[in-house]
A and B are shown apart, each in its own frame.
Chain A
Amino acid sequence: MKVHETQTQVPILQRQIHGKKLVYLDNAATTQKPESVITAISDYYRTHNANVHRGVHTLSDESTERYEQARQKIAAFFGARADQLISTRNSTEAMNLLVQMWEKFLRPGDVIVVTMQEHHSTLVPWQMVSQRTGCEFIVLPMDDQSTWPINAFAELLQEKKDRLRVVATAAVSNVTGVVAPLEKIDAQLRKWGVRKNVLVAVDAAQSAAHMPSRLDRWPVDALTFSGHKMYGPMGIGGLVVSERLAQEIAPVLYGGGMIAEVRTQETSFHEDFAERFTAGTPDVASLVGLQAAIEFLEEIGWSELQAHEHDLVQYAYEQLQQVPQVRLIGPEPGAEFASRVGSVTWTYEGVHAHDVAQILDRSGVAVRSGHHCTMPLHTEQDWVATTRASFAVYNTREDIDQLIAALEQVQTIFGV
């Protein structure tokens, strides 16, 4: 499938908003859904619905087969086997689950490191567990170019390498589009010989739809994702763990399906990893929908998708630079795709981000305003709120032209 063909595959893009064609530029919040995803969910409920692994009847077999296939497809997309995937509601739940499972290894004085640009879904769970366990929680400020603070991380290692236990970060920032230098982080840990003592956890929520996000290529121990940010349904996501980590963690959710034997005073757990970490009935329909979303991405292919989205980010950056009141945030997109991924964020002199977004909506342009669940970053940079346009494969340069035209309305209304 060619990039330009994707627009006709997503039904909601035909909607009119306030009499104008919808220009959907809030894809970092959630992407819109292709027809194939909607159909897969609908077909599952219309034709195959039954509980998995529970019955011996035909529908239960069909449902189980689709469930297993979907899990394999999703795990493979993230460079893992199905027995390394724990399904969750979203990336936030996956990170919380990882924190809960890792808590038993943390001791007072251990060091946990995140960066200032982390989404609250990473920052808060690790901050909370630090408080519970007496760990030192370090939030690295971004460097001068707003890129990932690898130099500050290297300095921190000199002093605290022996106590470092966790590095948690987003693969791609949801505000600045900054890509985390995972190879460099790994190299620093290896340089000091502490790699094996440290859990490296990566939130792939903002990378999964934009670039290969694979546990077999990234030097990390765990990866979290949200299906709804990669063309799949809301309510499904996952935690993908390395083989090493899979051996070390134990379930923290108990119930049906995950057990081997239950007696009144004791319980043993299922031998199979996926079963052991799936308490209760899984969301089969959403897993099947997410499988369809992955097939949608595969039909396009990474090279065409990445080239198109990089063009969108660069074009948007250049066009917004021409608007005198706009101050862009984060690094300038360079020639390299990985220099900035997925979004462009700005402040508008004299007008609050909410008002900018509201006026853009009048022209059918959907963007996000606020602090995008990154309050520490906004506080550090002294931004009350910012406006973000974030892209998907179905967006076009014309969408960005419509955004720029709509921004003129802000000037007209506010007279700035």
Chain B
Amino acid sequence: MDDLYREHILEHAQHPRNWGELPDATFVMRAANASCGDSLEIFLKIDEAGIIKAVTWQGDGCAVSTAAASLLSEKLVGSSIQKWESMSAEDVLRELELLHISPSRQKCALLFWQGLRSGEDWAVVQGSAEREQQ
């Protein structure tokens, strides 16, 4: 707990990276933590091979969920979406250097990842779907 609010977590919480919408996103995912009201949207551009080409996100959340989303978003570009889907919660917490976070805050740290692995719930962005049809 004592290092939960360490400098780089606070810095990402206050200045989240990759913030906003992505005009040419191919997928939009949403995740919400019903117990606390946190919610976020993730905009992804994924190519035919499943490689993430671009990512942005936005939402409301605590310092932990905001920083975790910001930190993870920096790791996405160039990797395959399947890789993130197949990771365990423990793998993600290790990536975030938050393995010792309390059980009650794990949901916060994992919210962005929960959005990423919402798999079949992916909503194809309307414009992109139309473009694909053309």
Interface residues of A, Cβ cutoff 8 Å to B: 18, 351-355, 358-359, 361-362, 369-371, 375, 378, 383-385, 413-414
Contact = CB atoms under 8 A, between A and B. Distances in A.
Interface stretch (B50-58, B60-68, B70-78, B123-131): B60-68
B10 interface: yes
B61 A352 contact: yes
B37 A371 contact: yes
A168 B73 CA distance: 45
Contacts of A354: 36, 62-64, 105, 108
B63 A352 contact: yes
A375 B10 CA distance: 27
Nearest to B63: A355
B35 interface: yes
B64 A355 contact: yes
What 8 pairs between A and B have smallest CB-CB spacing?
A: A352-B62, A354-B62, A370-B36, A384-B60, A355-B63, A371-B37, A385-B37, A355-B62
Interface in B1-27: 1-2, 4-5, 10, 14
B112 to A, nearest CB: 15
A353 B105 contact: no
- B interface: dominant SS: loop
Contacts of B49: none
A383 B60 CA distance: 10
B7 to A, nearest CB: 10
Nearest to A356: B62
A386 B60 CA distance: 13
A358 B105 contact: yes
B62 A413 contact: no
Given A370-B37, A371-B37, A385-B36, A413 B10 contact: yes
A254 B78 CA distance: 59
B11 to A, nearest CB: 11
A364 to B, nearest CB: 12
21 contacts: A352-B61, A352-B62, A354-B36, A354-B62, A354-B105, A355-B5, A355-B64, A358-B1, A358-B105, A359-B5, A362-B1, A369-B36, A370-B36, A370-B37, A375-B34, A375-B37, A384-B37, A385-B36, A385-B37, A414-B10, A414-B14
A385 B14 CA distance: 18
Given A352-B38, A384-B60, A385-B36, 10 more contacts: A351-B63, A352-B63, A353-B36, A354-B62, A354-B108, A355-B62, A370-B35, A371-B35, A383-B37, A413-B10
A323 to B, nearest CB: 19
Nearest to A351: B63
Contacts of A385: 36-38, 62
Contacts of A351: 63
A353 B10 contact: no
A26 to B, nearest CB: 12
Given A355-B64, A358-B105, A413 B5 contact: yes
Contacts of B34: 375
Q: Which of A352, A359, A361, A378 has the most CB of B within 10 A?
A: A352
